[in-house]
Amino acid sequence: MFGFGQLIDILKKDPKKIVFTEGEDPRILEAASRLLASNFLHPILVGKPDAINAKAEESGFNIRGAEIIDPNNFDRMDEMVELFCELRKSKGVTPEQARGILSSANYFGTMLVKMGIADSLLGGATYSTADTVRPALQLIKTKPGNSIVSSCFILVRPSATGENEVLAMGDCAINIHPTEDELVEIAGETAECARIFGIEPQVAFLSYSTLGSGKGEDVDKMRNAAHKAMAKYPALPIEGELQFDAAVAPRVARTKCPESVVAGHANTFIFPDINAGNIGYKIAQRLGNFEAYGPILLGLNAPINDLSRGCNAAEVYSMAIITAALA
């Protein structure tokens, strides 16, 4: 089962570079100092070197060895501008406009990933999720076969056996009212992410109905999405629609859906909309004593992840490892 040691082992075999777009933030600096004390993940800090170094000294963090890149003094800016204009040519972006946009750390950092200077990006400690996702969609773009960016949370808590109990939940942060086909894509991406964290995914499409016990448009949506997902991912154990108790409690599953191999044993949960997903993972986090890691953005050509504005340095460090391990 999942432990950060597994992800660190992945990175030790193939060390990566990660961009932090908010190089002066003390939380970022503390996480970067921890990473610099290791040899598996190299931080790139975006910002003015003098300001970053002064803030690090003021905060008491050793960032010696960190790569600091200033958008206003970047020796490959002409190359970056040219590539940016090519990527945004459908919008008629001029070089002058591109330089203005690239003065923003979120766009500049995303272009560092696009150019291969970094493998991944982590930002959003001081700006919105939309300001992380927008440059990623415009520049990194979705993977072939994907139509949307989605997200999942990985939830971890110690179990009575001494191993960690690990669950995956999606989409809890990005898509407000996903369609049936978008739910299919969310399920496939969430299951793929779950495997990286040691989960053998058993996927439940959640609803207020269990296999026809209730009626309504939302029930139909989840049932249809589950059936489409079964057809698209025949090797993936999937059931739906299921109520949460039928999904996780074997006794309830034996009563409500005794023929299902997933019911009672689900560990990867697909929610009907962002309301259910966001509320669901936070209930697990606050009342179920799970550690929640995410949102982990899914469906992009490179790992770009978003921080909560209320995050602390430990969460930045953890999310950096998670993000880079996905590269």
In tens digits, the chain (327 residues) has pLDDT values of 456 778 888 899 999 999 999 999 999 999 999 999 888 999 999 999 999 999 999 999 999 989 999 999 999 999 999 999 999 999 999 999 999 999 999 999 999 999 999 999 999 888 888 899 899 999 999 999 999 999 999 999 987 777 889 999 999 999 999 999 999 999 999 999 999 888 999 999 999 999 999 999 999 999 999 999 999 999 999 998 999 999 999 999 999 999 999 999 999 999 999 999 999 999 999 999 998 888 899 999 999 999 888 889 999 999 999 999 988
Q: What is the residue whose two structure tokens read 């697909």? A: 270
What burial class does residue 52 get, using C-beta atoms within 10 Å of its C-beta: 0-12 exposed, 13-18 middle, 19+ buried?
buried
Q: Quote the tokens at residue 32.
A: 């970067």
φ/ψ bin of 236: left (φ > 0), alpha (ψ from -120 to 50), beta (otherwise): beta
What is the residue extent of each domain of the chain? 4-141+301-325, 150-291
Q: The domain 4-141+301-325: what is its CATH number? A: 3.40.50.10950
Short-list 154, 150, 159, CA closest to 197: 154
Domains 4-141+301-325 and 150-291 share a fold: yes
The predicted structure's pLDDT at residue 300: 95
- At 2 the pLDDT is 56
For the domain made up of 150-291, the CATH class stated in words is alpha beta
What count of Cα atoms within 13 Å lies in the side-chain half-sphere of residue 182? 18
pTM of the prediction? 0.88
Exposure string over 285-306, b if 16+ CB within 10 A, otherwise e: eeeeebbbbbbbbbbbebbbbb
φ/ψ (deg, to 5) at 222 = -70, -35
